[in-house]
Chain A
Amino acid sequence: MELTLWTYEGPPHVGAMRVAASMRDVHFVLHAPQGDTYADLLFTMIERNDRRPPVTYTTFQARDLGGDTAELFKDAVAAARARFAPKAMLVGASCTAELLQDDPGGLARTLGLDVPTIPLELPSYSKKENWGAAETFYRIVRALAGPARPRGARTRTCNILGATSLGFRNRDDVVEIRRLIESLGIAVGVAAPAGAAPEDIARLGDADFNVVLYPEIALPAAKYLEKHFGQPYTRTIPIGARATRDFVAEISALAGIDPVPDMGPSRADWYARSVDSNYLTGKRVFIFGDATHALGAARVAATEIGFDVVGLGTYSREFAREVRAAAAGYGIEALIADDYLEVEAAITKAQPELVLGTQMERHIAKRLGVPCAVISAPVHVQDFPARYSPQMGFEGANVLFDTWIHPLTMGLEEHLLSMFREDFEFHGDAAPSHLGAGPGTLAAAGKPIVIATPPAAANGSPAWTAEAESELKKIPFFVRGKARRNCERFAAERGVSSITVETLYDAKAHFSR
């Protein structure tokens, strides 16, 4: 039993729904109680889809439990087949129906349906949403993908795998990456699951290789296709300009074409080199999200913008190894967690100047008064902007630069803030002026300010003079806690019992070396 306030992932059947809702001519019959129909609103309200997800729920009630819920399931499948006339059907159970052990796959088989019917095993008590999506896509590919047709003389072709409904900016990523691939003279056969119909899945085998955009969703299917149809798949995720160039090199090699020497540079490359970006150097950034976006963001942050990555983590336990390895490269330890409180504690401790995370971290950052940009699912209605806004490819790199930099206090303003810290409307706790009054500051959040609390004030640590305390307040709040601790350590090590302004600057000089 696990105590949860908020969750990063839904149950596995929601992952299955995401795949079904991404595709055309597929219908999913889910053995589930009536309350589970809430999941429709993820698609109609968060993503603002103009159609209901193609899902029929059996909506059994307590009074059905004594009777024949299996019969109810069969009726629902037959009715859905008749009403929606899909070209393929998925059948499965949600958490409650799993306990009834009605065997949706076996029951559907007895109906002798005239369309391919794919049974899904979605263990709700051990697996989660992304696993469910990956499993569903894999089962669909296994059931429907045919072997390659004989090749004539034709252009090199690849498939783009992994984009789904409710994925973070997947809609625009596919457009961007498809454009990039086609600009190299490589054709795109099928993009799936998003936008694909069962007949598209059937011709996946025709391609020369697969592009895996989101390993969380597409990896099991890509591995299957590699094993059975000999299609290699890509490892590079094109998030950021550098990764996009690596991606171009990787697919050029897979397609057997000459590498294009001079892709880019993107506008973000130039902006990062522009002098006004100097102030971005070494800003402390904390990154948390699904593995794909967290890893991509860390590389961009460190190598394209010049931030210090002070925290890196993911809720995608399936990719813990990769994230740990990347974190080690930044000299930090990865945070592998799906407990929101644990993430909050880690962010508070790391004292970042920018948080790149999910909507949950956005909330944490808001409470701490730290700027934040959202880089990963779970999604929110704001993660479906009306404008074109990919995260991948060269345009994606531009989007990342803008989205991450805009929440920060801008270079010259930052200088003025530190020069005139006591200005009544221009002080250190004020939000960046171009963002209006903005979110509450740490003090306004009404909670004890953890990072500003002297950790060992009570047990014999050096005391602060009023003057030094006031000087400390002129230091930006996100490093104030660290400065306080450093001063106290410095004083304690030297047997100084009272911290004065002098001690503060001695400590500053000491730790700056």
Chain B
Amino acid sequence: MNDAPAFPAAPAADCAVPPGVGPSEAAGRGQREVFCGLTGIVWLHRKIQDAFFLVVGSRTCAHLLQSAAGVMIFAEPRFATAILGERDLAGLADANEELDRVVGRLLERRPEIRLLFLVGSCPSEVIKLDLARAAQRLGRVHSPRVRVLSYSGSGIETTFTQGEDACLAALVPDMPAASDRSLLVVGALAEIVEDQMRRLFARIGVGPVAFLPPRKASELPAVGKATRYILAQPFLADTAMALERRGATRIAAPFPLGVEGTTLWLRAAAAAWGIAADKVDAVVAPDRARAEAVLAAKAADLAGKRVFFFPDSQLELPLARFLARELGMVPLEVGTPYLHRGLMADELALLPAGTEAVEAQDVDAGLDRVRALRPDLTVCGLGLANPLEAEGLATKWSIELLFSPIQGYEQAGDLAELFRRPLTRRARLAA
């Protein structure tokens, strides 16, 4: 079992030109086209089943959650907005009293809530409504039935997935202390992905394994000096810092997207348990072979196709790496709302030489470039997709990448299919 397929051992050496890293000239200072961190509530409220998210904000915040989320499928969502009115703006004392009243009414109506997040918004930040203090105050009132925490999902401080980062970071101080060695997998994942990872780690011999966020607020994992954590999502810089303040140590790795990403991710975790890469490879060989077979079938339609990413979720770099290295696609430009060089180091090293990574670009300038380049596939947000389709450009709407299970071996083919479908669909309709 020593013929473990080698991924480039020292990828940096392969790069004649290191990937360009923004903010480059392309970034500019024009309009951003990104969601704010409140959007994360759409998946977090489903993930943590006994938690409730109360946004303290404006009618715009409520409208965002309703429109962006398409939440009308839910009987009664586990989130709501406390909409600030003129009276709340006039005096913060009143605003706090009002908040206490609203929270009281909410908890009365929803007795099953065990954890309440007060979520800050642009207006609450600008008027300096101190939600951390409000959370402490309300926590005392409603203890022990309900814990109350706060974080900011405001669009002046966070984009899209950073809302999850802020939420998880707020959970970390609440995690119980641990002294035993354990692995903590960090980032909201589909339940099926978590279960697969749990089984893989057990087969490899890494454990005990816990996940953050947990499925129930009452099941927060423990953390301490012996905890090793590994990020499953790339946008969790604040959570990583909070875990390190609790003594945990990060296992650096690329992200578990695609066969290569998943293998390197598992190997990194195994290494921290003193388990050699070839042992990991031997254990995962069947999973990997299955995934590679699916990818090979998908690659036929994707190899050589040029892809352009608008900034959206911070998943762009790992996705571009996957598309380039496992499916033979050519990333023209990889926009990302924020580029954390530390957490992204392993990904940057794997990106093909000369890939242009652009942080927080001006959307109008980005559209100019995309129209000039006419890529085969443009990955973009919901505001841009149909207009670009109408201009004859195939698009993949990026929000689906957050709402689908895409991590790990068994999902590698599904992930490739998300990019392949817009192209095969066009071919069908053209035939």
Q: Mark A43-56, 1 if CB is under 8 A from B, else 0.
A: 01110111110001
The answer to whether A1 and B102 touch (CB under 8 A), given A37-B33, A52-B384, A128-B59, is: yes
Q: How distant is the Cα of A380 from the Cα of B67 in the complex, in angstroms?
A: 9
A57 in contact (CB, < 8 A): yes
B60 in contact (CB, < 8 A): yes
Selected contact of B58 from candidates A5, A52, A125, A380, CB within 8 Å: A125
B344 in contact (CB, < 8 A): no
Q: Mark A95-118, 1 if CB is under 8 A from B, else 0.
A: 110011000000000000000000
Cβ–Cβ contact A5 & B34, under 8 A: no
Determine the residue in chain A with the shortest Cβ distance to B158: A35
A130 in contact (CB, < 8 A): no
B113 in contact (CB, < 8 A): no
Selected contact of B60 from candidates A36, A50, A363, CB within 8 Å: A36
Q: How distant is the Cα of A380 from the Cα of B75 in the complex, in angstroms?
A: 17
Selected contact of B82 from candidates A1, A13, A79, CB within 8 Å: A1
Q: How distant is the Cα of A2 from the Cα of B62 in the complex, in angstroms?
A: 11
A136 in contact (CB, < 8 A): no
Cβ–Cβ contact B80 & A360, under 8 A: no
Determine the residue in chain B with the shortest Cβ distance to A1: B98
At the interface with chain B, which of A59-67, A153-161, A220-228, A505-513? A59-67
Q: Mark A302-313, 1 if CB is under 8 A from B, else 0.
A: 000000000000
Cβ–Cβ contact A2 & B390, under 8 A: no
B125 neighbours in A (Cβ, 8 Å): 62
B101 in contact (CB, < 8 A): yes
Cβ–Cβ contact B72 & A95, under 8 A: no
Cβ–Cβ contact B382 & A45, under 8 A: yes
A172 in contact (CB, < 8 A): no
B75 neighbours in A (Cβ, 8 Å): 367, 445, 447
B81 neighbours in A (Cβ, 8 Å): 3-4
A250 in contact (CB, < 8 A): no
The B interface is mostly helix, strand or loop, or mixed, namely helix
Determine the residue in chain B with the shortest Cβ distance to A98: B123
Cβ–Cβ contact B387 & A126, under 8 A: no
A40 neighbours in B (Cβ, 8 Å): 33, 382-384
The answer to whether A34 and B382 touch (CB under 8 A), given A6-B66, A7-B62, is: no
Determine the residue in chain A with the shortest Cβ distance to B59: A11
Cβ–Cβ contact B66 & A7, under 8 A: yes
Q: Mark B384-395, 1 if CB is under 8 A from A, else 0.
A: 111101100000
Question: Which residues, 1 to 21 on A, are CB-close (under 8 Å) to B?
Answer: 1-7, 9-11, 13-14
19 A-B pairs in the complex with CB atoms less than 8 angstroms apart: A1-B88, A1-B98, A3-B105, A4-B59, A7-B66, A33-B36, A33-B154, A35-B159, A37-B383, A44-B387, A45-B383, A52-B383, A59-B32, A62-B154, A62-B156, A96-B156, A125-B85, A125-B89, A363-B72
Q: Knowing that A2-B83, A5-B80, A51-B387 are A-B contacts, what are 5 other residue pairs whose CB atoms are under 8 Å apart, sorted by A's residue number?
A: A1-B85, A34-B36, A58-B31, A100-B126, A367-B75
Which A residues lie at the B interface, using CB under 8 A? 1-7, 9-11, 13-14, 33-42, 44-46, 48-52, 56-62, 65, 75-76, 79, 83, 94-96, 99-100, 124-126, 128, 359-360, 363, 367, 380, 445, 447
